[in-house]
Amino acid sequence: MTVSSVEMLLIAARAMFLLLSFALATVAFTRWRRAAQAHTAQLQANHQVVLQRLADLEARVAATNVAVSQLGERVERPQQLAAAPAAASPGYQIAIRLAKGGAPREELISKCGLSIHEAELVHRLHAPQARPPARKTGPGHSHAA
């Protein structure tokens, strides 16, 4: 069994083709691996940027929550302050009714528990006022506008 030179040449060509194929596969795999590593590094860098932005957003949301709660407290405070005089207003309502009925200041002080100044104010605002006498105009004066 002797192998002819043509067959030997074909066997050598196949061996060279296989070696060339393995070398080409090795180069291709190495380049693919490097590209995958570079892509992974880029994804990790992008991931870090996204995480940093999320942390910044969380800090902003926390600061906004604090600001909103402070604004809410400011809004509620005037309502609480306005509600406090409303609790004392029934005494004033009685004082106003008495003043409209012609009660003197001393009665407002004794019956409603008002201070002298409060009774004076309620009396001035709500007590019936005596009307000043109407002035008579002479024949030369007219009220035409």
DSSP state at residue 143: -
C-alpha dist (Å) from residue 138 to 102, 117, 135, 143: 35, 42, 10, 11
- Structure confidence at residue 32 (pLDDT): 98
Band of pLDDT at residue 74, cut at 50, 70 and 90? confident
**Alpha-carbon separation of residue 140 from 133, 134, 135, 136, 145 (angstroms):** 20, 17, 14, 12, 14
- Distance between CA 107 and CA 99 in Å, rounded? 9
Q: Best-predicted range by mean pLDDT among 28-42, 79-93, 128-142?
A: 28-42
What is the distance of C-alpha 145 from the center of its chain? 58
Neighbours of 114 (CB within 10 A): 20
pTM passes above 0.85: no
The proportion of the chain whose per-residue pLDDT surpasses 90, expressed as a percent, equals 46
| Alpha carbons 113 and 95: distance in angstroms, whole number | 9
The C-alpha atoms of residue 120 and residue 114 are separated, in whole angstroms, by: 9
Mean pLDDT of the chain: 85
Question: DSSP label at 98?
Answer: H
* pLDDT the model gives residue 118: 86
pLDDT of residue 34: 98
Percent residues over pLDDT 70 in the chain: 79
Q: How far apart are CA 67 and CA 71, in angstroms?
A: 6
Q: For residue 145, is pLDDT > 90? A: no
